[in-house]
Structure 1
């Protein structure tokens, strides 16, 4: 590969280095992506004895029509692989918080369904999650335009 030489760029294609503020945002965001879920997970496990991913699974199911989602869709909204979500749902099934049922539209697929016990557990843990979100994230954004920030983050995510 030593024979490969970079192609000269046209002036209109020149790459601008990051400004100090841009660099700080990019570096901080990469740390937040890992630090925030860890901090919130620690709060949830310590105070509620439920990992954040299990809370998020229950939350997403509670917001779905008929409190159920196809396993692959649940995995997607929780940012997990299907096999990872299967393990989470299996643990939640063992607690009686979720049950799996055959998908009515496709007999090959499975839906995860939030049980009444799961909804009650979600309600129990909700306050801890809210306080954790505020303490570790929202309290640090005071004075910022949250609507604009939310729109910008959504654009980045999509």
Structure 2
């Protein structure tokens, strides 16, 4: 590890600010959604992923991967949404061992109602804090980092 160059002052400031954003932003987005819609950020993301999937359904393993959640965590979230009538879960038609989740009409309605709240939160907490002229450069840089991460 001694071969690693130390961060300069600006790199260190950037890194520390990024770590604060990584920790604080999900909490803030979650609070905004919960307070206004009763959906947690994780539940919102699950509904988004399902609504955007082909035929609006995903195998539970694929849903877990799409949401960056463990199998047990996605099971708990889907069961909560299912108990509220927002998601249905069934056996996969081609593979009886696998389970598939899909949003119900009520789940899609909840998602549609939560979208403006989430958008307003994202805008207030992040987008409006950025310099619009720098945005294309910031996007390209973050996309490059994301691509390297997988």
Same fold by TM-score, threshold 0.5 exceeded? yes
Task: Provide the residue aligned with 2:26 in structure 1.
Answer: 37
Paired with 1:113 and 1:38, the residues of 2 have a C-alpha distance of 26
1:121 and 2:121 aligned = no
Task: Provide the residue aligned with 2:66 in structure 1.
Answer: 77
Paired with 1:68 and 1:148, the residues of 2 have a C-alpha distance of 35
Q: In the superposition, relative to structure 1, how do residues 22 and 110 fare at CA in structure 2: closer, same or farther (>3 Å)?
A: same
Classify the secondary structure of the residue corresponding to 2:39.
coil
- Give the Å deviation of 1:84: 0.2
- Give the Å deviation of 1:144: 4.9
Q: In the superposition, relative to structure 1, how do residues 105 and 114 fare at CA in structure 2: closer, same or farther (>3 Å)?
A: same
Structure 1 residue ranges, 4+ long, deviating more than 3 angstroms after superposition: none
Of the candidates 132, 141, 145, which is equivalent to residue 130 of structure 2? 141
The structure with the largest alpha-carbon Rg is: 1
Q: Which stretch shows the higher mean deviation, 60-69 or 140-149?
A: 140-149
1:106 and 2:95 aligned = yes
- Give the Å deviation of 1:139: 1.1
Unaligned 5+ segments in structure 1 are 1-5
CA root-mean-square deviation:
1.7
Unaligned 5+ segments in structure 2 are none
Task: Provide the residue aligned with 1:94 in structure 2.
Answer: 83
Task: Provide the residue aligned with 1:24 in structure 2.
Answer: 13
- Give the Å deviation of 1:18: 1.0
Q: Write out per-residue CA displacement over residues 48-97 of structure 1, whole angstroms, 9 at most, x where no aligned residue.
A: 11111111111111100111111111111111111000000000001111
Task: Provide the residue aligned with 1:131 in structure 2.
Answer: 120
